[in-house]
Structures are given as C-alpha cells and as structure tokens.
Structure 1
Amino acid sequence: MLPDTPELRQRPFIEFLLSWRSYGDSPVDVDHLETHISHIFLVGEFAYKLKKAVKLSFLDFSDDHKRSDFVERELVLNRRYAAPLYLETRELSLKDGNVAWGTNGEQSERVLKMRRFKQQDLFSNLVSQNRVSPELLQRLVSKIVRFHIEAEPRPNSFVPEFFEKLVNDCLALIPKELLSREFNAALTHTLHKLRKEITRRQPSHVRLVHGDLHLGNICLYQNEPFPFDGIEFDEKYAAIDTMADFAFLLMDLWRLNQSHLAWSALNIYLEQSFDYEGVVLLPLFLSYRALVRSKVLSIALKQHDHPQNTPELLEYISLAQSALTPNFPALTVIGGLSGSGKTFLGRLLSEQFGALHLRSDVFRKHLAKTPLDQELPIEWYSHEHSEETYRELYSTAKNLLLQGLPVVIDAVHGTTQDRALCEDLASHCHSVTKLWCSVPDHIACARIAQRTKDASDATLEVFQSQKASLSPPDTPGWRFIKMDQNAEALVKILKEFTLQAPWPREARREKKSSSRIREKE
C-alpha cells in the first residue's frame, strides 16, 4: 500500500537520488542541496532537480502529475535564456518498492537534468567576492534587456489589483511585528499613487519574464552569465512588468551594499531599453522584491523551526522600508567638448554617489531609432536635431527629479541656450551642481581616436569644429574640472560638493533601526 501523504510518497525517490548507484557503476559524490520547494542533487557534471511534494500558499506541488507538468514547463521557459544549462527531463518510477529510471511503475516522478556549475560562480558569491567586472556586468544586463524585449507580451496580467494581491500575499507571510506602521502606510500610499502608471504599461512592458531574478538565480558558466531557475509554477509571478523583473537584481545588489554595481546595472539597462518612464515604479518594485525575499526566507525559517528575527530577514525588511523613503532630488550637469571625459565623470558620479546617468549621445540615437553602437547619419547632428535631443534629455531629467531621484546630465552644453536649460530645471531640485570638463587637446584627440562600441559618434573633425564654434561657460556656478586625473583623485574632488545621502540607504546600516522598530512595537 502506498504512503498516504505526498511527502512520504516522494521519500523513496529522494533516497534513490541520494545514492551514487543511481548514476552509474562507479562511485561518485552526490551533494544534496535543498530549498523550500526543491531538492537538487549534484553529481559530476550534472545537477538533478526534484520538486518537493509540498503545498504552500503560493504554489501546489502536492500532486504527482502537476509536478511532472511543472518540470516540463521549467525546461521550456528556462531554455529561453539559459539553453546550455537546461538539458532534458527524466522519468523515475516506483515498482514493487524499488525506484528506477524509466516509466514502468505504479508511481512516478519527473526530474530536471541540468549542467552543473560551481557554487562559487553564482552571482551572489561573485558579487560578495568582488569578482564582477564592469565588462561582465555589461554582458549580463545586455542579455537581460534582449530577453525582456523578446519575451512574450502578457497585457493585463499585471494590473494594479493583481500586483496589490502579490504584495499582500508577501505581507501575510511576514511576522507583522517586523513591519512598522509607517512602512505599511507608505506602501499603501505608493500603491494607490502608481495605479495609473502600472495600468498604462500593460500593453508595452508586461511580459512573460524570469520572475525571480535575484543574484542567487544567476550564474557564470563557461565565462558567460546566465539567469536560471525562472518561475514556472504560476504565471502571475512571471507575467509582470519588465522593470519589476529587473528590480530583483538591483534590490539584491543594494542589499549587499554594492550600490556602485546597482547604479551601473540600472544605467546600462536604461540606456539599452530606454525605459526611463519605468523608473517611476522602481522604488515600489524594489520594496516589493525585498518583501518577496522576506516572505521566502520567513517560510524557510518556519520549515526549520528557526526564529523569525534573523539579521538577514531584518536586512530585507529594512531595504523594503528604505526604498519607499522620500529623497531630496539632486541634479548634476556635466558639460565639455568631445573627448573631455564627460561620460567617464558621469559614470564615476553615478556609481560612487548614486544617480541616473542621462547621456545626450544615447538620447540622440534613441530619437533616431538607431542602435547605440551604430553611427548616425551626419544630419542627426544638425541644430534642429540637437535641440530635439536636449529637449528630450531635459524633459526626462525633470520627470525623474520630480520622483525624488538623483540625476546626472551628460552633454556638451556648448552654447548659452543649452546651458540655460539647467537653470530652468533648478527649481525642481534640492541641489544643482554644474561641472565643466577639460583636458589638453592631444588627450581629447587620443581618446576620440581610441573609442569603440560607444554611443558617441564624435570624430576628430567634430572636435575641431567644437573648438571653433563652442565656448566654455562664463556665468557663475560652473565648476571647472581637469579630467587628466585618475578616478581616485576625481572622487576626492567630487566629495567636496556631493550631492546627497544615498538612496536607497544601505540595508546593513539600517539593521539597528529595524530592530528598534520591532522592539518598540
């Protein structure tokens, strides 16, 4: 007679997969990993994934046939972005008390077979070990942008009512004493305020995406970054706004106090997707993603009868609160001729101090509907197109500043008319810093000659034309920076007039205050 609970019925299959004899004639190490919904067996070059026979508030794996269907779906969905990792599904069957590979039995389980990668090559470990280079981050984010663009549209799958239910499902599984009244009020207010924006993006940005894109679900395999383990068990978690998908990665970076990587990743994503309108939703989505991890961790702690007030759980809750904390918007305007180091300084500012980096070169190519690494026709550098580019650039900056987000504008600003735009924007900012970059001509020319795969199309001829027709600012308020210095020296200079407190505030710095809130309530 078969055991009468799903967990007991599954036990013989777990024992089979724990034995090296199940994988061949030669002894081999079998490493067993466990999550709240899966067993993973690591054997040689492969990993075998078995779904736990569990029923939780957000999924039901208690039925054998449903588990089998979900395994097949997991294979199909994850091959969209990680085909080299996802190999096949295999069947196990139980007959006369014995488990074997195959289908001839009174009970069966389906297992997902994957390529094994080193645990040290999970991005959660790579980030903690400072092994994520700018080039690797660029490749990862570029892959995510391409996937988001190509993913199947799911309009009306992420309407405000559905999203609010997802948030409330998280809150229901987190101990109430860990959440402050102020946070609950801020969350309710933000959800209400952004309902129209969430609705507006349904046709364009709601797609069947990964759904669980935190650092522990991204790996480096054969020197190539791959997201993996996307959500297959319920489309409501994966048919979401693309910005909500990407927010998981950003949230994890901020949680690990890697704000420079978070800002760099965000700016790469925005330059390539040009989804600057979606940034208005980012604080809410960051908070939601921190709540998702809080929920998952809380479930795991309960399964193992551990206390609920662990430092890791408090970090996630602290970040959920911090993401919704109002901020004072700061604007930094960078000007200078081609090759003067504007973009280098803009990236340095955005990564070290935290800001959205808006480049005129990127905006011009977006308006021309041209890939960033493809050269524009010369007519796109006419006076009329340049005016259009600056209008779009400053309009976007204004919208972001109104949301309390820090902005760096990176453009030549070679005319009085161009520079007047930042004066008009000053009333929307907590602070304005204006920087003019300069280097000796031979350095500017060398930099221009060495450029490859950049959004800037500047040539030596363009530089000479700028020298002849443009002039540096002669009005008060501009700070002149010599850009023939190294990054360390520049950061030291920038600290003299920086900007504002970081947003979101680093999770670990908030840990004590979160604890005080908990004790107080």
Structure 2
Amino acid sequence: MVETHISYVFLTGKYAYKIKKPLNLGFLDFTSLEQRRVYCQREVELNRVIEPDAYLGVVAVCWDGDRYAVEGTGEVVEYAVKMRQLPSEARMDLLLPKGLVTRQQVRRLSEKLAGFHGRTGASKEITQVGGRRALAANIVENFDQTKRYTGVTVSRCAFKDIQAYSLACLEAFDSLLERRETKGFVRDCHGDVHTRQVFLDDTIHLMDRIEIAERFRYSDVGQDVAFMAMDLDFHRRSDLAKLFVQHYINKTGDRELPKLLTFFKCYRAYVRGKVSSFLLDDPSASPELREASRLSASQYFSLARRYARRSAPKGIFLMVGPSGTGKSVVAADLAQCGRARHLMSDRIRKELAGVPPLERHTEAAGKGIYSGFFSRRTYEELLRRAEEALRAKKSVVLDATFLRKSYRMPVYTLGKQFDVPVWVLWCKAPEELTRHRLNVRATEPSISDGTWEVHERQAQQLEPVHEVPSEQVIEIDTSGDREENAATLLKELYRRQLLAA
C-alpha cells in the first residue's frame, strides 16, 4: 500500500486501486461517499486523455457482512479508481538516484507533454479560471495555508523571501502573462507533472492528472514544464531539467517560456512543500511517513527559496532621512536573514570615539563626536567597511542620515566601482510620530543620540535625492506596521530587480 496526502493506493500486482481519504482541506472536499465517487470518475475521465490504457474505470468496494471486496457484493462502502499497475521499479523518481534515466527518455517525456498540450483545450472560460488572476489567488492562498508551518518545514526567512519574490513576479510579469493568455498558452493542463508521476518502461507514462479543482489544472502550459524541470533540479539533475525544457521549446516554439521559468519553478516547488506539509496534520499518517514528509517539505521550500534568491535585490542599500524617521528599523529588517551586512553610522561613530555604544552624547551641534571633522571620519569609515563587504561579494545596508548630496556621491562611485546597483531608501514619517519616537528613545538605552531638536535641524539640512534616476529611489512611509513595511519594501526591491534584469 502506498499513502499520499489525499489517498491510499493498494497494489495487487496486476491492478492498482486508489481510494480517496475522507478529507476536507478547503480546496478539496472528499468527506462524503458520493463526493469520492464523483472525483474518482473525474480522475478516470481526465487521465484517459493521456493514459487511456492505464485508467480502467471506477469500481465499488463492498462489505458483505463478513469482509470487504473490490467489485464484490453487498453494501457499497467506498469507491476506487482501478488502474493497470505499472512496475514500481520504473518510477522516474526512483530511477534518478541510480542514474538510470537517459537523455533520450527525457526527450520523449518532453515530447509527450508537448503533444498533450497541443491537443488539450483552450478557451475563454479556461483562461478566466486558470489565467494570471487565478495564479495570483493560488499564490496568496499558498502563503495563507503555510503560515502555520513557519519554523516547522519552512524558515521564517525563506517564507518572507519567497512571498516577496512571488508577489513581485506577478507584478513584473503581468503584461507577459496577459499576452500569453491572448495567445492561447493557458490550457487544460496536467497540473501535477513531477517525477513520481512518471513511469519509464517500454513507453513513457504520465499519470495522476489533477481532478480536484480546475483552477489547479487550468494554467499556462509553462507551469507543467516548470514543474518537471523543478523536480529534476530537486533530484540534482539540472542537466536533465535544461534538456527537458529546451526540447519542449524546440518542439513547441515557446520562446517566451525562459523568462517565466524560474518564477514558475519557484511556485511549483512551494506547492510541493505545502502538500508535503499537509501530511503532518494527518492523524492517520504513520510517524515514519510524517517525518519523511517533513524532510521532503523542508527540501522543497529550500529549493523554492534558492529560485527566489536568484533575483534577490543586491548591491548597496543607502538609507536617507533625519533622526526618528525609522531608518535603522528598516535597515535591520532588510539586512536580516543574511540578505546584507548592516553598517550603522551611530555604532561606527562611537567605536571611533572609543566610547560604549549606549553612552549618551548630547553636546551641541558641530561639537565633540558630532563635529564636522568627526562626521567626515565616520562616513569615511562607513565607506571603507562597505568596500570591504563588497569585495567579499556581500550586499550592504548603509545606515546613516546621508542628508547631503556630497555624502551620497561617494556611495554611487563605490557602486560603479563594484558594478552593483545603489538603492536609495528614503525614510519618512509624520511629524507627530517622529517626535513620539524620539521622546521614547530619550528614556531608553539607545545607540542613537538623536533628539527632536536634532531632527528639526537635520530636516532643514536635508537635500532631496534628485541626483540618481527615480528607479533607484524608494520612498518609505515608516508609520505603518513594521512587518508589513518590511514585506512591502522587500517585494518592491524584488520587483525593481526583476524589471532591471
């Protein structure tokens, strides 16, 4: 017997019988016997389009008062999909680790999928159900459904990165996705094309087309292609993934697919992580199955993050704004999860002065460690450390006021020197909130010596950022929820990085 998150498959040697679990996961409802019968019938009808000889029909499981029997007599207690049993040793995910999948088999699989896509339906209704709006809804649902697994199968950092990247892709690729809709690339697809569904014997078998909801099956054909390519990457056979995709493109002429491939791969890897995570909540699953599912989910989520990080915003993040506008909070949130090195002028200033970081310095403007000489020295050291980080291939967040253009210009020069973008993050906040923050800061230990009086003076000195293209400048209102602000900024940085690529 083989168990999945939504079914049991009983193997007899000649036939395989799939019984659906009586589950309600929101996106599927198998709780009644009649619903399970309907979905069994739908599964057979849909999969006969691809594998007419493998899917034999729907049969009843009966109880005669003494024992259960498939296609027996008595009370019908369950329904099963009856299939010709394919040899388990021919399953692609089991052959890959042994090095027994050939390049010719991958080409044939690619041709089979391309041929199926060429025959399957495309219509206005399919586009409405499976187009870019549905993709967006599915992505949002994925993150809603997996929040409870953060810290279990997906790290908090991975969750944030993948979410920001996915939402950014929806915006950055909207016109391309819309164009593909009008060209008929959104079709009645397979929906679950991964190596566990493929059997390689004398012919190529592609099993288990999704029957539970049209919105998971109707999609851009590129999602089917990306699903298989992703799973080949998962099995450490990126060479076969590239071959599979390129052969599909050669057969179909879909030259736009590479632009979307990483996005679609990330989406499909996240779906696999989500589905594996669901088994952790199944009380009927064995401890061994739950542990295997936990490991599988973690690996798929990690793969999804690696795809997302290919487009991660990199370079120099230059904070701008007077004291109290929330720069250091934004900088710290951006730098977390190893995204960048956080270089803070307040800390560097006190290190250079040889004083403890929390020691208060309230001398008059232009005096002591806030003299013009000491400020220039602080900015020079900030740039020196930034250069050191860039040489180590690290991104940096430069956390200082950078009020004057003359302080910002050397940063742009540094970006050109290392051929990395400079993103200007201009922080702003309402006056009342800024005053409140600074008043609270004055009563608590803080590395910053900023006060309301300091803020007012700095606001007068601030030179607006007009020296670089607007595409490099992001104005941030820090008055909202901190976590939402961080998510919005990360998504916007991903979006701009994608558009600049």
Q: What interval of TM-score do these two structures reach, taking the shorter chain for normalisation? A: 0.5 to 0.7
AA at the equivalent of 2:300: Y
**Alignment match of 1:167 (pick from 139, 142, 162):** 139
- With over 3 angstroms needed to count, the CA separation of the structure-2 counterparts of 1:116 and 1:241, relative to structure 1, is same
In structure 1, the gaps of 5 or more residues are 1-31, 329-429, 431-521
What is the match of residue 77 of structure 1?
46
- Among 315, 318, 325, the alignment partner of 2:309 is 325
Q: Secondary structure at the match of 2:53?
A: coil
Shift of 1:108: 3.7
Displacement, 1:152? 1.1
Deviates more, 1:45-54 or 1:311-320: 311-320
Is the contact between residue 265 and residue 307 of structure 2 (CA under 8 Å) also seen in structure 1?
Answer: yes
Call closer, same or farther: CA 1:327–1:113 in 2, change over 3 Å: same
Equivalenced residue count is 297
CA–CA distance in structure 2, aligned partners of residues 44 and 307 of structure 1? 28
Aligned partners of 1:39 and 1:50 also within 8 Å: yes
How large is the RMSD of aligned CA atoms in angstroms?
2.3
AA at the equivalent of 2:59: R
- Over 3 Å counting, the alpha-carbon distance change for 1:241 and 1:99 in structure 2 is same
What SS is found at the alignment partner of 1:111? strand
- Corresponding residue of 1:212: 192
For residue 282 of structure 1, what is the aligned residue in structure 2? 261
Query: Is 1:119 aligned to 2:88, yes or no?
Result: yes
Question: What SS does the corresponding residue of 2:82 show, helix, strand or coil?
Answer: strand
Letter in 1 for 2:275: V
Q: What per-residue deviation string (whole Å, max 9, x for no partner) do you get for residues 53-91 of structure 1?
A: 111132111111111111111111111111221122212
Q: 2:79 aligns with which of 97, 110, 115?
A: 110
Query: Taking structure 1 as reference, are residues 325 and 163 closer, same or farther at Cα in structure 2, changes over 3 Å only?
Result: same
Shift of the 93–84 alpha-carbon distance from structure 1 to 2, 3 Å rule, reads: same
Structure 2 unaligned regions, length at least 5:
313-418, 420-501
Matches within 5 A, 1:434-513: none
- 2:49 match: secondary structure: helix
**TM-score normalised according to structure 1 size:** 0.54
Do 2:127 and 2:187's aligned partners in 1 also have CA atoms closer than 8 Å? yes
Equivalent AA in structure 1 for residue 263 of structure 2: L
Task: Specify which of 109, 134, 150 is matched with residue 176 of structure 1.
Answer: 150
CA 1:64–1:265 in structure 2 vs 1: closer, same or farther (change >3 Å)? same
TM-score between the two structures when normalised by the length of structure 2: 0.56
SS at match of 1:281: helix
What pairs with 1:71-470 in structure 2 (closer than 5 Å)?
A: 71-94=40-63, 96=65, 99-102=68-71, 105-153=74-122, 154-174=126-146, 175-177=149-151, 178-180=155-157, 181-203=160-182, 204-221=184-201, 223-303=202-282, 304=285, 306=290, 310-326=294-310
- Give the secondary structure class of the aligned counterpart of 2:128: coil
Distance change in 2, residues 1:308/1:41 (3 Å)? closer
> Counterpart amino acid of 1:313?
A
Instruction: From 44, 47, 52, give the equivalent of 2:13.
Output: 44
Cα distance per residue 1:407-440 (max 9 Å; x no partner) = xxxxxxxxxxxxxxxxxxxxxxx9xxxxxxxxxx
Matches of 1:100 and 1:259, distance apart in 2: 45
| AA matched with 1:277 | E
The offset of 1:163, in angstroms, is 0.9
What percentage of residue pairs aligned between the two structures are identical? 28
The answer to whether the 8 A contact 1:157-1:202 is kept is no
Q: 1:185 to 1:61 in 2, by over 3 A?
A: same
SS of equivalent residue, structure 1 residue 55 = coil
Work out whether residues 130 and 217 of structure 2, in 8 Å CA contact, stay in contact via their aligned partners in 1: no
Task: Please report how far the alpha carbon of residue 309 of structure 1 lies from its aligned counterpart in structure 2 after TM superposition.
Answer: 9.6
Residues 464-514 of structure 1: per-residue CA shift (max 9 Å, x gap): xxxxxxxxxxxxxxxxxxxxxxxxxxxxxxxxxxxxxxxxxxxxxxxxxxx
What secondary structure, in the 3-state scheme, does the structure 2 residue paired with 1:88 have?
strand
Kindly indicate whether the alpha-carbon contact (under 8 Å) linking 1:298 and 1:308 is maintained by their aligned counterparts in 2. no
* Greater shift in the superposed pair: 141-150 or 152-161: 152-161
Report Cα offsets for 1:139-169 as digits up to 9, x if no partner. Answer: 1110110001111112222233311221122
Residue 207 of structure 1: how far off its partner (Å):
1.0
Larger Rg: 2
Q: Which amino acid aligns with 2:150?
A: K
Q: What is the SS of the residue equivalent to 1:82?
A: coil
| Structure 2: distance between partners of 1:107 and 1:77 | 24
Name the SS of the counterpart of 2:36 in structure 1: helix
